[in-house]
């Protein structure tokens, strides 16, 4: 399962990682997004997807749930999140487990994207992988030597909250000038929406880029440059061999990636830049839900 501010996606798979049913819902900006409502909708989608696969809920060995928030190691509690601020301190494994009567594993959604791209997608064979999830916000996941690197409090890889301007606007995380404030999907929608009220979602932005809209393409290119600058610090720090760019904004392709690569080349140590490939993810909007499948099959079963 992959739950975000604007979507709920569910994939049902067998023990060989073969997906046998998928369901998804897009949420409108004016819909209620409380944890209670979102978890109810997610549970209903799970039931529908399992039935579609021809199985019973009792056949399910476990559920993986991805959320755009850090997950505190050892507690399962969610940390502060710009995307789902009201969820902080919640234990979604308990809440969803109560609804489904199944064991639930919870992980940061960008970590799951990293895991799935490393397992099946553009990150296969990588020894040190950085995955960027560019959606409403900006998340990041790290896979080092085949294993997720989460950090002590679950925030490893959170490139969206690297500061680009110490005197910039205050982010909801409490920092100033965060990358997410200038290059996150919510920021892009806000800028375009000032003069174009028909732009209400990141999907609208991606569509305008595909249509060749010049102002929109320039805005996305500028976002790519900002991401490349922030990524330079991360590349210097961990010296990865691959960066996989995923999330909804990745669908803009080279409009985003060309300026990102150029800015990275100016921001990181030359030897580190030469060693890293920056590629577009291949799993698209399925990445996080597929990562949740891999998580369940890799992790020991939690207590119900």
Could you tell me the pLDDT band of residue 304, with boundaries at 50, 70 and 90? Answer: very low
Tokens describing residue 136: 């409403």
Q: Which residue has the higher pLDDT, 83 or 164?
A: 164
Answer whether 291's CB lies under 8 Å from 64's CB. Answer: yes
pTM above 0.95, yes or no: no
State the average pLDDT over residues 72-99: 83
Which of 62, 67, 98 lies closest to 298 in space, CA to CA?
62
Q: Which residue has the higher pLDDT, 266 or 32?
A: 266
Could you tell me the pLDDT band of residue 170, with boundaries at 50, 70 and 90? Answer: very high
Tokens describing residue 61: 């060995």
R_g over Cα of the chain: 19
Residue 223 has pLDDT above 50, yes or no: yes
Q: Which residue has the higher pLDDT, 230 or 174?
A: 230
- Measured in degrees and rounded to the nearest 5, phi and psi for residue 235 equal -65, -40
Q: Which domains does the chain carry? A: 2-111+286-298 (3.30.420.40), 126-282 (3.30.420.40)
What is the C-alpha to C-alpha distance for residues 294 and 103, in angstroms, rounded to an integer?
Answer: 15
CB 248: neighbour CB atoms within 10 A? 21
Could you tell me the pLDDT band of residue 153, with boundaries at 50, 70 and 90? Answer: confident
The least confident of 3-17, 34-48, 213-227 is 3-17
What is the C-alpha to C-alpha distance for residues 273 and 268, in angstroms, rounded to an integer?
Answer: 6
Strand partners, 10: 23
Tokens describing residue 227: 């991401």
Residue 11 has pLDDT above 60, yes or no: yes
Q: Which residue has the higher pLDDT, 277 or 29?
A: 277
What are the DSSP calls for 265-294, one per residue? HHHS-HHHHHH-EEEE-SSGGGHHHHHHHH
Residue 51 has pLDDT above 50, yes or no: yes
Tokens describing residue 238: 């961990």
State the average pLDDT over residues 21-36: 79
**Percent of the chain residues topping a pLDDT of 90:** 67
User: Locate tokens 């404030």: which residue?
Assistant: 181
Q: Which residue has the higher pLDDT, 114 or 24?
A: 114
CB 154: neighbour CB atoms within 10 A? 21
Residue 302 has pLDDT above 70, yes or no: no
Residue 31 has pLDDT above 70, yes or no: no
Could you tell me the pLDDT band of residue 303, with boundaries at 50, 70 and 90? Answer: very low
Q: What is the mean pLDDT of the chain?
A: 91
pLDDT at position 29 is: 63
Q: How far apart are the first and last CA of the chain?
A: 18
Strand partners, 49: none
């Amino acid at each position: 399962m992959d739950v975000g501010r604007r979507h709920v996606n569910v994939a049902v798979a067998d023990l060989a990682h073969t997906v046998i049913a998928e369901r998804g819902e897009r949420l409108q900006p004016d819909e209620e997004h409380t944890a209670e409502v979102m978890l109810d909708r997610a549970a209903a989608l799970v039931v529908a997807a399992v039935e579609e696969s021809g199985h019973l809920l009792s056949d399910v060995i476990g559920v993986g749930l991805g959320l755009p928030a850090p997950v505190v190691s050892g507690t399962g509690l969610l940390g502060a999140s710009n995307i789902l601020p009201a969820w902080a301190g919640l234990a979604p494994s308990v809440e969803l487990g109560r609804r489904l009567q199944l064991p639930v594993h919870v992980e940061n959604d960008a970590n799951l994207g990293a895991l799935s791209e490393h397992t099946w997608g553009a990150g296969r064979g990588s020894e040190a992988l950085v995955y960027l999830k560019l959606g409403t916000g900006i998340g990041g996941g790290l896979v080092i030597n085949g294993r997720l690197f989460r950090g002590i409090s679950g925030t490893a890889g959170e490139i969206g909250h690297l500061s680009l301007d110490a005197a910039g606007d205050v982010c909801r995380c409490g920092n100033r000038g965060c990358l997410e404030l200038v290059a996150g999907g919510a920021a892009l929608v806000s800028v375009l929406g000032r003069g174009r009220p028909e732009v209400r979602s990141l999907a609208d932005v991606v569509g305008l880029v595909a249509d060749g809209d010049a102002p929109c393409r320039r805005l996305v290119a500028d976002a790519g440059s900002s991401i490349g600058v922030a990524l330079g610090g991360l590349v210097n720090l961990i010296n990865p061999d691959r960066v996989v760019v995923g999330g909804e904004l990745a669908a803009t392709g080279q409009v985003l990636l060309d300026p990102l690569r150029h800015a990275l080349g100016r921001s990181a140590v030359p030897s580190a830049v030469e060693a890293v490939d920056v590629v577009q993810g291949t799993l698209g909007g399925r990445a996080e839900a597929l990562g949740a499948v891999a998580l369940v099959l890799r992790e020991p079963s939690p207590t119900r």
